[in-house]
Amino acid sequence: MRQTLRVGIAGYGLAGRYFHAPLLKGCGYEVVGVLTNSPERAQHAVEDFPNVKIVSTIEDLLGIGLDLLVVASANIVHAGQALAGINAGIPVVVDKPMGLSFAQTEMIVEVSEKEGVPVTVFFNRRWDSDALTVKRVLKEGLLGKVFRVDSRFERFRPSLTAASWREKYSPEEGGGLLLDLQPHLISTALDWFGPAELVFSSVRSIRGGADDDSLLVLKHESGVDSYLSASAIVGAPGPRLRISGSEGSLIIEELDPQEALLRAGQYPEGGSWKMPTTQRAFLHRGAEVLELRCENGNYARFYDIVKGALVGENPWPVSTDDALAVASIIDEARARSVR
């Protein structure tokens, strides 16, 4: 039987408290330390884990005897905290994006390889209900020869949120949807259809803060084109996914329910959800519409796979090659954006 793994979480805001902490808890890790300088977030951590140690520096967090460091802080400090963990000999999970740029991501990977200390990035959307359903539908060949994907995270928030660093910080400070939501869209597209090159990019700010509207078009070596839209100011959001092939189109309208469950204080006890975590999927063939069975989403699989990787039973859930590929496309999208 594996020993209980001791984990420290750097950052206890949205990512730390509502994604990583409950997933770690559900998968049987022991959260022993939290890095935060916010009294409110420190109180949240103690409420969630009464025996947790609250620290104010990354050095203090790394000094309490960790088997795993989870970097869930603001994007601007991801690279520094990840490197600190690696240099201390502690395997690291970094919330997306791993680095603010390809150069930062490459530096983290190179140090990881040099020191022989593993690092991975939290592309949890690969374990959405829709992502898992897409992989099954592709395997079953229900769409024929797939040629186009429309994948979206669109919402309507016409006013900036004053307290949100994601909405006001510059790209150099880690703000904007290109670093926030596009990594999920890019990583899932690459997971489904393989390597791709960027052929079009529009990245812009509509509300006057950080970039809040982006459209990327990827051309995969497999022949599929991916249209990836992340926007905060679309009054009529399109379906979450439309995947078109020679034999029909797969439509998934709504979002995976796991984020809402996590925000409501639920967690996947024992590494799996005790309630359905599916979406609704439909196969369209002109006037013919058939509802398909959806897979249950399960973000906890990420940390189950991490647990196995830590003891050498399996590879890490997201390879550093995938992290580098996503970072490269993001850099190129910003540089080539049509103004």
- Residue range 6-122+304-315, CATH number: 3.40.50.720
pLDDT tens sequence across 299-337: 999 999 999 999 999 999 999 999 999 999 999 999 999
Rounded-to-integer distance, Cα 16 and Cα 19, Å: 6
- On whether the 125-297 domain is CATH 3.30.230.10, my answer is no
Same fold, 6-122+304-315 and 125-297: no
pLDDT tens sequence across 199-256: 999 999 999 999 999 999 999 999 999 999 999 999 999 999 999 999 999 999 999 9
Q: State residue 109 phi and psi, 5-degree precision.
A: -65, -40
In the chain, domain spans:
6-122+304-315, 125-297
User: Are 199 and 219 a contacting pair, CB within 8 Å?
Assistant: yes
Q: Residue 2 above 60 pLDDT?
A: no
Place of tokens 């490197």: 83
Total count of residues recorded for the chain: 339
Q: Residue 261 above 70 pLDDT?
A: yes
Which of 162, 280, 148, 275 minimizes the C-alpha distance to 220? 148
CA 160 to centroid of chain Cα atoms: 23
Whole-model pTM above 0.85?
yes
DSSP state of 145: S
Q: Residue 1 above 50 pLDDT?
A: no
Tokens of 274: 């005790």
Rounded-to-integer distance, Cα 169 and Cα 180, Å: 12
User: Are 233 and 212 a contacting pair, CB within 8 Å?
Assistant: yes
pLDDT tens sequence across 126-178: 999 999 999 999 999 999 999 999 999 999 999 998 788 888 888 889 999 99
Average pLDDT of the chain is 96
pLDDT tens sequence across 175-208: 999 999 999 999 999 999 999 999 999 999 999 9
Q: Residue 338 above 90 pLDDT?
A: no
